[in-house]
Structure 1
Amino acid sequence: MIDWLLFIPACFALNLAFGPNNLLALTHGARRGVGFAALASLGRLLAFAPMIALSALGLGVILTASSVVFGIVKIIGAAYLIWLGISLLRSASSIDARSLSGGDITLPRALRSEALVALSNPKAILIFAAFFPQFISLEAYWSGYAMLGAAFLMLEVMAILVYALLGKVASRFAAGGLPIFQRLSGAMMCVFGAVLLFSPQPSPR
């Protein structure tokens, strides 16, 4: 039986952890509003769903065991995050307060960014592979994994709304500082990419 009283707060802490996807929700919320950020996050959720399924099938173990596979995924993911960060930095100078009501961020582009950022970090699969099994009994493995996956995605939506709302509130109080916010977001994306690139391969549990 799943210990929901332990899983929910522990999982929500993971959902709320500041990372590239939540930084995107913050940025989208600041520039286009909570509704836009919520729609854009569908790209992340659609990426996480098969990642959870793949973890259940053992891909997390494969990534942990194979340094070659893990290294390839890590390099691709780090390169994309750094590219995204540089793009944010380059576009910051063209942003003004009018960007809050429109801007150059289209929904397809935002959906793609959310999905690619989610897919670019192999640690997400490793979290699913290492965290979920602690709450599942072998007698109900598949149903338990499905329930935990659904709960994770629902909590992820809540975290997305939190970050999007924070971004919107911040933009209202400091609309003139949006270019600075954009530069900080870009710099943080580059930092996340560098951290991912030089992070060691997790050891098998």
Structure 2
Amino acid sequence: MELQNVLTFIMVATLLVISPGPNGFLIAKTVSTSGRSAGFANVWGFVTAFYVHGTLSIFGISVFLLHCAEAFYILKIVGAAYLIWLGVKSLRNVSKISEIELSDHDINSPKYGSIHKAYIEGFLTNVLNPKVSIFYLAAFPQFLTVNDSALSAYALVSAHAAINFMWFSAMILLLSGMKKATNSIKFRKWLSSVTGVIFIGFGAKLAFLKP
């Protein structure tokens, strides 16, 4: 694998990671409601999903999704439904935020909220997103040659995962450092409302995605 190809891939992956999307809003919601550890669980869910998509792409299974209209349709509808469900759940949680909840909440406490639930949310948000699969199918042919091994392909997946981990880790640390602001009832209700609307919007947009 040529160094120039690796550096170019890293640049493209970085631009994709830092661009606004469901992952950033999920992190913001999770850290403000369930704490820093749950936010990191989200990130590990993202990373796991990247390796799933990477594996499917390396072994050619993802190509089937793009060339089989029925399979692609099912995947995007399931992914869209999941994002919309997250949005609706976030909107419903607005009315549940109270003084009592906040008094028992420590944003940096690893015991608050469900770490496992946060991991699953992070994983499903990415593994059910056809755009992630399309990214791997579009990127791999450009940055890998016929002589490159599967190990080289996984190196690119690892680079993407590392960039994702660093970017969202920085976001988590920033949000968890703003304890006073994120513990505000007004802020948390505003964030839950905005996150809910945005997730529903992402879900609706994904539902109309064409291969």
Question: 1:121 and 2:103 equivalent?
Answer: no
- 2:45 aligns to what? 43
1:95 is aligned with what amino acid? Answer: I
1:180 is displaced (CA, Å) by: 0.9
**1:53-202 equivalent positions in 2, closer than 5 A:** 53-96=55-98, 97-98=102-103, 100-101=105-106, 105-168=113-176, 172-173=180-181, 175-176=184-185, 177-201=187-211
Structure 1 stretches of at least 4 aligned residues deviating more than 6 Å after TM superposition: none
Distance 1:170-1:59 versus aligned 2 partners, 3 A rule: farther
- 1:34 aligns to what? 36
TM-score by length of 1: 0.88
1:104 is displaced (CA, Å) by: 7.1
**SS of the residue aligned with 2:57?**
helix
1:32 is displaced (CA, Å) by: 3.5
Confirm or deny: 8 A CA contact 1:2 1:136 kept in the other structure: no
2:106 is aligned with what amino acid? Answer: S
Spell out, residue by residue over 1:20-45, the C-alpha distance to the aligned partner (whole angstroms, 9 max, x if none).
Answer: 12211121222334333113322222
TM-score by length of 2: 0.85
1:111 is aligned with what amino acid? Answer: Y
1:76 is displaced (CA, Å) by: 0.7
Spell out, residue by residue over 1:159-180, the C-alpha distance to the aligned partner (whole angstroms, 9 max, x if none).
Answer: 2213323433566336232111
Distance 1:122-1:151 versus aligned 2 partners, 3 A rule: same
Confirm or deny: 8 A CA contact 2:105 2:112 kept in the other structure: no
The sequence identity of aligned pairs, in percent, is 27
Distance 1:60-1:2 versus aligned 2 partners, 3 A rule: farther
Confirm or deny: 8 A CA contact 1:30 1:170 kept in the other structure: no
User: 183-192 vs 8-17, which deviates more?
Assistant: 8-17
Confirm or deny: 8 A CA contact 2:41 2:122 kept in the other structure: no
Distance 1:94-1:20 versus aligned 2 partners, 3 A rule: same
User: 93-102 vs 152-161, which deviates more?
Assistant: 93-102
Spell out, residue by residue over 1:55-75, the C-alpha distance to the aligned partner (whole angstroms, 9 max, x if none).
Answer: 111123212211111101011
Any unmatched runs of 5+ in structure 2? none
**SS of the residue aligned with 1:138?**
coil
Matched pairs, number = 201
Confirm or deny: 8 A CA contact 1:30 1:164 kept in the other structure: no
Any unmatched runs of 5+ in structure 1? none
